[in-house]
Structures are given as structure tokens and as C-alpha cells.
Amino acid sequence: MRALVRLWELIVERFHLKEFLEHPVPRYSNLNPLYWLGDVAAMSFFILAITGFALALLYTPGLSLTQTPPDPLMPGQHGEELQGKKVYDATQSYSSVYRITYLTPLGFILRQIHLWAAYMMIFATLAHFFAKFILGSYKRRGGGALWLLGVFLGFLTINQAVLGYILPLHLDGILAIQIGLNLFRYFDYFGIPVGQLVLSVLGSLFVTDQVIKMIYVLHILVVPAIILVLLGLKINGILYGGVSPPPIKDAELRRKAMEEKEPFYPHRFALTVGQLLLQLSVILLLAAMTPLPLLEPWVPGQQVPAGVRPPWPVMWYYTYVKMIDPFISVGLPIFLVLFALVVPLLDRRGGVSIEERWIWVAIAIVYIAIIGYGTVLGFLVDIPKEITPLTRISVPPDYAVPYIGTPQAVGP
């Protein structure tokens, strides 16, 4: 025991951990939940990394045809249709996820933790974004750069979620990859051949083994590595630049609040550990109460049932795609992201308290409302869509008759 204590002391001394452990953290940030959400997202990322490592070892990407027994959790009418059969066709990716979930010890809970942690990370990222918007944390010195980094990290988080959603190659994942491969073709229409670039890198605009391998590598290596580096950069920025100032109007009170500090260890450390444990319990509770099914299998050429819906993080976008013309449905997310990027330049005057910048708080609420309204509406109703002159991007009538030469009749 003495030796262990000595070893710990040695580590603390040699690696200068004392400075880190005793780093002063303002007391108000330990008390205000608006300052905890970033931690939730970061901790979710590490939970995802650990479970993802195990899943990456067990998963095999591939499109080759295999057969799988039905998923007992499968919901809905299509699920019931499949329950009657003993086995059905699926891709290799799908069967390997089935194998992980139902035929590997602890595989079921591993996958559930990974999925629920992913949803939690997205939710925490969004909540963190709005919390910092409302706090006006980009107003402090260095806050603008951290804000930009945060927006970029949020973008990567959504990317990572979509890539992971594709990997099991269930029906919904296939639709996601197809949309992902073809969405960029709108930039071809806009005069910039981005769709061509995607094609030249991946070789196909329909899912193939190569495409799935690329998605796999991006999901398990490239994007997490970028997230990790940027996260380190951001944590370093906060460590030495300080957290956002408290939303207090009175200058004297604000100064007082900022001067009142606590060491990171044990105060904030205890908070973070408690938060992590709470987070893990919530994830386990969610996994127990609502385990996420494998969704429907898919093989190339299979009919896609009508009424498919995307998962909740992109539901709001789906609603606007169906409701508004493609020009705006491609433009709306670009506008929302651009707005998030330029907010630090627009909102510069005044303090950080709610009463001084209520208009920006109102804008933040409208921003939340656009996303929230779309999400709820997407689950509630099917929006009919009419063709109007605005619903089309003018594109070349680049049709061709499906014939070499003149069409030729067969038979009687």
C-alpha cells in the first residue's frame, strides 16, 4: 500500500499533475447545470470509444448475401411479416450485427450502450450548443475561436452518428447512405462538381463493398481521431482561457463570482465522476426499458416499404425536405450552420446577462423551435408535397430514351 501511495506521489510529481489537479475552476460553473453539458458530450464520446473498440473487432463490413434469423425486437408490421419466416436474406454487415447482438456474450448490452451513448452525445451536443448560445460564451476573450471549434465538433458528431447508423446496413441505413452519396449532386446542379468528386473517390453512387469499407474506416478511425484532436484543443483552450463568464449584469457581483474558485480535484472531479456514473445508469436504464432493435434487413433490389422515417436527430431536416422545395431543403441546414458560425460576429455589444441580450436568447429559442417543431411534426404527420414552380431546380432535361437506336417491340 505504501509503495502504491509512493508511486502515485511520484507520478503526480514527475508529470506535474499537481498543476492540473489543482487547476482553479470558478465555483459558479460547478453549480450551474448549463456548464455541465459539454462534459456529458465528452464523456459520451469516451464511452462510445470504448464500446466502439469492442464492436469494431466483432463487426465485418460487406454487402455479400447471407441469411439471418429475424430480430425478436423488430417492431411494426414489416417486423411481424418477417417473424413468420425462419431466416431471411440480409447483407454480411447485417448478419454480423445480428451475430454481435444475439450470439455474442455481452454483445447485446454492448451494442445498446453504444447506441444510447451516441444518442446521448448528440442530445448533449445540441443542448451544450444552445446553453452556450444563451450564455453568450463567445463574447469573452478567445470565446469566438472556441465557439467555431465547437460548431465544427458538433458537425463532426452528427457526421459520426450518420456514419454509424449506416454500418449495420439495415433498410434505414441504406436509405441514409444513398441520400449521403447523392445529396452532393445538388452541388453539380449549382455548378460545382462536388457530386463528381464523391463519385471519383468512391467509384459508385450506389452502395458497394468499397463504399461500406470507406464508411467503416471513417467511422472507426478518421472522424474519431479528428474529434479527439479538436476536443483536446478545445479543452486546452478552456483550461487556460477560462470558462464563460456568469450571466450576471452587476459588474461587482460578476467580478466576485469569477474570483471565487475551487480546485479541479476534488470539487469538479467529483462532479464529473458523479455525472459519468449517472450517465451510465441512464444509458443502462434506457437500454433496459427501450432496447433498440436491428431494424429491417435489406438486400439490393428489395422493395422499400413506404413510410420509412429517419432517426430523430435528422427528423427535423426530413420534415423540411418533404415540406419545402429542394432548394431550401438543401439550403436550410447550410443557413442554420452558417448562422451558428457568424453569431459571434453579430452579437458583440452588451454584457452576457439574460436581460441585456434577451433578443439573442429569443433568437436561440426560435432556433431551437425550428428544429423542435420539425422533429415533432416529422413523427406526427405525413406532409403532402405539391409541385410548384419553386419546387424544382432548373436542371437540364438530360433524359435519354432507354434504347440504342429505335425502340424495338418484342412479342405480339
Partner 1 sequence: MVDENRRNVLKFFIGSSVALSLGALTTPLVGSVINAKALALKGEYSSIEVDLCENVDNCPEEYSVPISELRQGPKFVLLKKGNTAIPAVFGLVKATDGKEYPAAYNTVCTHFGCPVNPQGGKYLTGFGCPCHGSTFLICPDPNGCPENAEECAKNPDQCKRLPFLEARVTGGPAPRPLRPIKVAVKGDRVYAVKAYI
State which of positions 297-356 bind partner 1 (CB under 8 A).
300-301, 303-308, 321-322, 325-327, 329, 331, 334, 338, 341-342, 344-345
Q: Which of residues 180-219 bind partner 1 (CB under 8 A)?
A: 180-183, 185, 187-193, 195-196, 199, 202-208, 210
Q: Cβ closer to partner 1: 277 or 395?
A: 395
Q: Cβ closer to partner 1: 252 or 398?
A: 398
Residue 398 C-beta: closest distance to partner 1, Å = 5
CA distance 303 to 314: 23
Residue from 33, 84, 105, 407 binding partner 1 (CB under 8 A): 407
Q: Which of residues 387-406 bind partner 1 (CB under 8 A)?
A: 387, 391-405
Task: Check if the beta carbon of residue 54 is closer than 8 Å to that of residue 117.
Answer: no
Phi and psi at residue 91, in whole multiples of 5°?
A: -85, 165
**Cis peptide bond prior to 266, omega within 30° of 0:** yes
Q: Which of 245, 277, 237 is nearest to 32 (CA)?
A: 245
Residue 88: strand pairing partners = 68
Residue 231 lies near partner 1 (rule: CB under 8 A)? no
Residue 239 lies near partner 1 (rule: CB under 8 A)? no
Helix 37-58 / helix 269-289 crossing angle, nearest 10 deg: 50
Residue 380 lies near partner 1 (rule: CB under 8 A)? no
Q: Cβ closer to partner 1: 56 or 338?
A: 338
Helix 143-166 / helix 209-217 crossing angle, nearest 10 deg: 140
Residue 33 C-beta: closest distance to partner 1, Å = 30
Q: Cβ closer to partner 1: 179 or 276?
A: 179
Q: Which of residues 119-148 bind partner 1 (CB under 8 A)?
A: 141, 144-145, 148
Interacting residues of 287 by C-beta distance below 8 A, sequence separation 6+? 109, 112, 113, 116
Q: Which of 332, 347, 411 is nearest to 144 (CA)?
A: 347
Residue 304 C-beta: closest distance to partner 1, Å = 4
